[in-house]
Amino acid sequence: MTAQDSARDRALVVLPADECHTLLATRQLGRIGLADGAYPLILPVNYVLDGDSVVIRTDSPKITAAADHTRVAFEVDDVDERTRSGWSVLVQALAEEVTGSDREELVERQRRAGVTSWAPGEHGHWIRLVPKVVTGRRIIPGQLPPPFEAGGYL
């Protein structure tokens, strides 16, 4: 069986929004995509879900500058390179900073959401991504080729 034969057995499935939200809740690390001058910028961020919103905690000047109701993209995925399978969820959203806003109950809820950054530092800005479009895909593996051993296939 060739890699092309294996690829034919795979399936690409579009995920419904509720499954996308379920998958988002299983991870802590995603990537935010922003416009940064002439080129897009993609940065890793820790996050948590608050209802349908994605909440990140940061001190990145690039991210906080985007948090003025700017359109951003947020992506989370999981892959298995061995089976060439996995899933990906993309959230197209408006970013808003909730730190220091006049909505103290919202700020407190974001604090209770428990976003902890892996990177050292204060990370005193709370950014909420309000989803406008949520899409996802899953690649389901096909039949795997037999394992290779020295001297050929089994």
* CA 65 to chain centroid: 20
Task: Indicate the pTM of the whole model.
Answer: 0.77
Q: Is residue 153 part of a domain?
A: no
Helix (H) / strand (E) containing 32: strand 29-36
Q: How many CB atoms lie within 10 A of CB 129?
A: 26
pLDDT in tens, 130-154: 999 999 999 988 755 555 445 444 3
Q: Please report, for the domain that includes residue 86, its CATH number.
A: 2.30.110.10
pLDDT in tens, 36-85: 778 888 989 988 888 899 988 887 777 777 777 789 999 999 999 888 89
The residues pairing with 83 across neighbouring beta strands, listed in sequence order, are: none
Measured CA to CA, the distance from residue 29 to residue 116 in angstroms comes to: 10
Tokens 């909420």 label which residue? 128
Q: Is residue 101 part of a domain?
A: yes
User: What's residue 33's pLDDT?
Assistant: 93
Q: Is residue 123 part of a domain?
A: yes
Number of domains in the chain: 1
Q: Is residue 39 part of a domain?
A: yes
Mean pLDDT along residues 92-109 = 75
Range of the domain at 64: 15-140
Q: Is residue 70 part of a domain?
A: yes
